[in-house]
Amino acid sequence: MPVTFCTFALMSNIKPSLAKGTRDFSPQEMTKRNHIFDTIKKVFKKYGYAEIQTPSMENLSTLTGKYGDEGDKLIFKILNSGDFLSKVNPDLLAVKNSNAVTSQLSEKALRYDLTVPFARYVVMHQNDIALPFKRFQVQPVWRADRPQKGRYREFYQCDVDVVGSESLLNEAEFVLIYQEALSNLGLKDFSIKINNRKILSGIAEIIGKPELIIDMTVAIDKLDKIGFDGVSKELLERGFTQEDIDRLKPVILLEGTNDTKLTTLKQVLSASQIGLNGIEEIELVFNYVQTLLGKDGEQPKLELDITLARGLNYYTGCIFEVKTNEVAMGSIGGGGRYDDLTGMFGLKGLTGAGISFGADRIYDVLEELNLFPESTAAGTKVLISNFDPAAENYALPLLYQLRASGISAELYPSAAKLKKQMGYADAKNIPFVLLIGSEEMQSALLTLKNMHSGEQEKLSIEAVIARLREV
Amino acid sequence: MPVTFCTFALMSNIKPSLAKGTRDFSPQEMTKRNHIFDTIKKVFKKYGYAEIQTPSMENLSTLTGKYGDEGDKLIFKILNSGDFLSKVNPDLLAVKNSNAVTSQLSEKALRYDLTVPFARYVVMHQNDIALPFKRFQVQPVWRADRPQKGRYREFYQCDVDVVGSESLLNEAEFVLIYQEALSNLGLKDFSIKINNRKILSGIAEIIGKPELIIDMTVAIDKLDKIGFDGVSKELLERGFTQEDIDRLKPVILLEGTNDTKLTTLKQVLSASQIGLNGIEEIELVFNYVQTLLGKDGEQPKLELDITLARGLNYYTGCIFEVKTNEVAMGSIGGGGRYDDLTGMFGLKGLTGAGISFGADRIYDVLEELNLFPESTAAGTKVLISNFDPAAENYALPLLYQLRASGISAELYPSAAKLKKQMGYADAKNIPFVLLIGSEEMQSALLTLKNMHSGEQEKLSIEAVIARLREV
């Protein structure tokens, strides 16, 4: 509260509103959001990942050119301070060329994701960090997208990445991280899909159309929605022949267990070194997962899915995507290996791999499945009633005693009618009210009311503390 | 990792840097920062405050005019998206009038503090919240200040405020919140200074210069730095007479216990209703604190300090400021009561009171006093060595077993020389290394090395887990 407001009277008629595409989070929502973040972070830490944070704003030059032309347009730029027009070319202003003056009006921008800032971090701190560097990062990002249901201009990303380790153990651990974090959040039926960029390259290679790999994967990716006939039609439009499609068919329609799929793929890709390489990587990940789990570990639902593409220009090895099967919802996580994370900042040859969790979608899933724990756990546990100054005076040291015992407690801050105080406890979802009237003060036996069951008990303050510690 | 990078080759020669006045936080720094935030938040919750969050960006109209002209200049504005020049008046562009075009170029801005967004929140959600509404908020704010030592353009504020309750119990609880949170952080000698805006008004009133209250407090506020003679000189320059100063002298030089000060003040202010009111409020806060603490509670170092002013236009009742006496450092916290928080958004008559913690300064203080707990507590607890594929294979289920027991564990992700693996454990401050060689695999007795003492023990995996759980 360190600020002076000078113009109260002047401002009093502005009707407040949120900036488009942004959200407030209420105490109830924060409790739920923190539950998600805390659960995920705890697993990250157990796997040896450490938290870093980067600034919300980066130099514009750090961000532009990293997300494609469309992405560049969605970066929120920050207007330079002071007399920002003075440096701008007047000719460009005269013709109102917004594009051309952007870099003269703005030096800084809000981060668009956590990956580019992380790459910058690794390069800038390369002398201080021990490789492999395993970091997680949970921070908001900003995109000037058109807001719509489920798409916001400010949202959190939860990323976990390792740089400087080629071992496929990292990929196997990502599978276990997804499995553990999502299970801990209460999800029961979800699939962790895995594919490998090298397998896709191999497929394009054996058809003799390596240059059409993007067209191929974009089409294959739609199998779920448009079926094989639709995919065929799109492939023909994108420059493939009927013969190509006949060769692709067994791959696109690959079904069965992971083992069955791998056996078929090995035959189809027997002439492609890169394709066989991809298969080998997938097999190594599967083996790592099995060996890690030993006899007792719970099997994750890990599915080889050849139609999985993600950002193909970017990934170079294994790619992941996670879907829940309990609710209709897009992917709730994804990631993969990229061979040159830091190259864009001049540090070559550092491999990286990472996954992320879609916190906002996970929130919606948990809400729909009613999987959030009772929110009361995090809030005030007991409200002490306040009927008159004598009762207030009696209550104050008890309030202190409750808190000293680690119990979140409040005294209703002024004398008020019981109904009003009960309404306050209800609105805040406080599970217990401690009623102190003249009888209670005389007997030193306080009335503890359970707000869920309505039950009342007469207890000493010591017994109240013991009771509240139990629940 | 959901993004496609299109232009790796093009971008490879940019030397990355941070935006001016911003910071990266390493894993070690994050552990320390989280320690501060977690400690403070835990106390907030114990006192019945619940967390909310507001968006980083607000409509520019929500923010402008709330912080004075100087503040307005320090607000980071966000450039409109798309063809942002199209709507701008060409005449203003031609004369390069930056000030006049700002509102045409920018609709949104980054929040400057947490108080104005909170006021907007209360007004927008007034139908959903139960009064008194007790919220805390820990989020970054942005100011386009000239960066210098200890002053950043992005920094965190930790605010706790209550709206809709006039009770001075809230002020008393702020004293206890400061006392508990700072003690829990390990600070031993700090002063919580208290004053009241009404006392300052009373003093200006009895001198007969109520209109000069700001000048008076600005001058008095400097007593520490320029002494009484300096203050006298400044008061003369600001329109006070020598007679006024003679009457002010006993107030300015007020010393002794809180009781002594209050006794003197009561005499000096006996003719000022508002002044006596302020004294009464202070006495009530003192009484609340004493009654709350009962017989056993630790006494906070609470000092009535008549030279304490803070943002005087803004506060209307008690004001607070906290200083540590162990390190030379400005205030590490402050706040007070404001009678009309939400009036600026058209909701009149809601009183508020709040305090904040200066997390960045507290960080520096704890660092200087070496009060951070050992950072290892939060990171990986044990690294398993990796010498060859056989040992790796043997280690994998043990790794899983360790994690399943809740122990943060890593396997070095590929076979490497012992020195390299030990160096990695050192760099990450990992306290234990589990060495697995052929002997260990044969005997199933693993070598657990304590990285601090250098001690080695041969233990079964069960004994390793038991040992690591202890520490």
Nearest residue to B58 (alpha-carbon basis) of A437, A2, A153, A119 = A153
B469 touching A (Cβ < 8 Å): no
Q: What are phi and psi of A110, to 5 degrees?
A: -80, 140
Please give the annotated binding residues of A, written as ranges: 113-115, 143, 157, 161, 310, 314-315
Q: Which residues of B touch A334 (CB under 8 A)?
A: 1-2
CB contact under 8 A, A51 and B62: no
In the chain, the amino acid numbered A383 is: L
Question: Residue A266 region, left (φ>0) first, then alpha (ψ -120 to 50), else beta?
Answer: alpha
Cβ of B58 within 8 Å of Cβ of A19? The answer is yes
Smallest Cβ distance to B19: which of A55, A96, A348?
A55
For residues B144-155, average pLDDT: 91
pLDDT for residue A366: 96
Is a pLDDT exceeding 50 seen at residue B229? yes
Residues in chain A within 8 Å Cβ distance of B14: 61-62, 344-346
Shortest distance between the Cα of B151 and any Cα of chain A, in A, equals 14
Rounded average pLDDT over B334-358? 92
Would you call B51 and A68 a contact, using CB atoms and an 8 Å cutoff?
A: no
Cα A444 from Cα A395, distance rounded (Å): 11
- Is pLDDT of B3 > 50? no
Size of interface A-B (CB pairs under 8 A): 426
Question: Which residues in chain B are closer than 8 Å to A385, comparing Cβ atoms?
Answer: none
Q: Which of residues 137-176 of A touch B (CB under 8 A)?
A: 140, 142, 144, 153-154, 159, 161-162, 165-167, 169-170, 176
CB-CB under 8 Å, A313 with B154: no
Per residue in B390-417, pLDDT tens? Answer: 999 999 999 999 999 999 999 999 999 9
Q: What is the pLDDT of residue B9?
A: 39
User: Which residue of B lies nearest to A319 if distances are taken between CA atoms?
Assistant: B1
Q: Tokens standing for A425? A: 């406890």
Annotated binding-site ranges of B for L-histidine: 113-115, 143, 157, 161, 310, 314-315
Given A55, A356, A404, which is nearest B2 (Cβ)?
Answer: A356
Q: Which residues of chain A make contact with B312, given a CB cutoff of 8 A? A: 4
Tokens of residue B103, six digits: 């509102």
Distance from CA of A355 to the nearest CA of B (A): 6
Residue A409 to residue B46, Cβ atoms within 8 A: yes
Pairing state between β A382-384 and A432-435: parallel
Per the prediction, chain B carries an average pLDDT of 92
Contact A128 B53 (CB under 8 A): no
A1 to B340: CB separation less than 8 angstroms, yes or no? no
C-beta atoms of B408 and A105 within 8 A: no
At B56 the pLDDT is 98
Search chain A and give the residue with CA nearest B353: A1
Q: Is A462 exposed, middle or buried (0-12, 13-18, 19+ CB in 10 A)?
A: exposed
HEC string of B350-407 equals CCEEEEEECHHHHHHHHHHCCCCCCHHHHCCCEEECCCCHHHHHHHHHHHHHHHHCCC
Decide if A13 contacts B41 (C-beta within 8 A): no
A347 inside 8 A of chain B by CB: no
- On whether any CB of chain B is under 8 Å from the CB of A37, the answer is no
Query: Within its chain, how far is the Cα of B395 from the centroid?
Result: 44
Nearest chain B Cα distance for residue A242, angstroms? 30
ipTM for the assembly: 0.93
Min Cα distance B160 → chain A (Å) is 9
DSSP state of B132: S
Return residues 394-433 of B near A (CB < 8 Å).
396-397, 399-401, 403-404, 406-411, 413-414, 423-424, 427-428
Q: Are A285 and A172 within 8 A, CB to CB?
A: yes
What pLDDT shows up at residue A45? 96
Does B11 sit within 8 Å of A78, measured CB to CB? no
| Alpha carbon of B403: minimum distance to chain A alpha carbons (Å) | 6
Residue A127 DSSP code: T
Q: Report the gap between the CA of A418 and the closest CA in chain B (Å).
A: 15
How many Å apart are CA A104 and CA A102, to the nearest integer? Answer: 5
How far apart are the C-alpha atoms of A148 and B195, rounded to whole Å?
A: 49
Cα angle B7, B9, B15; round to 5: 95
Contacts with A399 from chain B: Cβ below 8 Å: 292
Across the interface, which of B1, B140, B294 has its CB nearest the CB of A334? B1
What's the pLDDT score for residue B87?
86
Partners of A418 in beta bridges: none
> What distance lies between CA A226 and its chain's CA centroid?
29
Q: Which residues make beta-bridge pairs with A318?
A: A196
Facing A10 at nearest CB: one of B65, B71, B291? B65
Peptide bond into A250 cis (omega under 30): no
Nearest residue on chain B to A53, judged by CA atoms? B25
Instruction: Tell which wins on pLDDT, B173 or B251.
Output: B173
Look at A156-170, B4-18, B246-260, B283-297 and tell me which has the smallest mean pLDDT: B4-18
Flag if B48 and A380 touch (Cβ within 8 Å): yes
Q: Residue B43: which H helix or E strand, with range?
A: helix B27-46
Q: Which residues of B17-38 are buried (b: 16+ CB within 10 A; e: fewer)?
A: ebbebbbbbbbbbbbbbbbbee
DSSP letter at A164 equals S
- Cβ(A116)–Cβ(A63) under 8 Å? yes
The helix (run of H) or strand (run of E) holding residue B248 is helix B242-252
Residue B292: both structure tokens together: 């709350």
Q: Could you list the mean pLDDT of each consecutive 10-residue stretch along chain A, which spans 471 residues?
A: 40 76 96 96 97 98 90 95 90 90 95 95 94 97 91 96 96 98 97 96 91 88 89 92 90 91 94 97 97 90 91 84 93 93 89 96 96 78 96 96 95 96 94 96 96 96 95 83
Inter-chain CB proximity A297 and B400 less than 8 Å: yes
Residues of A in contact with B159 (CB under 8 A): 1
| B62 contacts A16? CB cut-off 8 A | yes
How far is residue B115's CA from residue A76's CA, in Å, rounded to a whole number?
24
Chain A residue nearest residue B412, CA to CA: A132
Q: A160-208 pLDDT, tens per residue? A: 999 999 999 999 999 999 999 999 999 999 999 999 999 999 999 998 8
Determine whether the interchain pair B50/A428 forms a contact, defined as Cβ–Cβ distance below 8 Å: yes
Q: For residue A141, which of A358, A363, A362 has the smallest C-alpha distance? A: A358
The pLDDT score that the predictor gives to residue B134 is 97
B1, B103, B146, B451, best to mutate vs chain A, most A CBs in 10 Å:
B1
Residues of B whose CB is below 8 A from A19:
55, 57-59, 107-108
Mind listing the domains of chain B with CATH numbers? Answer: 40-51+125-368 (3.30.930.10), 378-470 (3.40.50.800)
Residue B77 scores a pLDDT above 80: yes
pLDDT 10s digits, B277-324: 999 999 999 999 999 998 888 899 999 999 898 766 779 999 999 999
Contact at CB, A5 and B66, closer than 8 angstroms: yes
- Cβ distance of A4 and B84 shorter than 8 Å: no
Does residue B219 surpass a pLDDT of 70?
Answer: yes
Nearest CA in chain B to A107: B19
The reported pLDDT for the residue numbered A312 is 61
Which residue, A314, A171, A73, A215, is CA-closest to B3? A314
Alpha helices in B64-207 (DSSP H): 68-74, 90-94, 98-105, 115-124, 169-184, 197-207
Residue B124 sits at the chain A interface (C-beta within 8 Å):
yes
Tokens of A422: 């009960």
Q: Give the residue among B93, B112, B292, B317 at the shortest CA–CA distance from B194.
A: B317
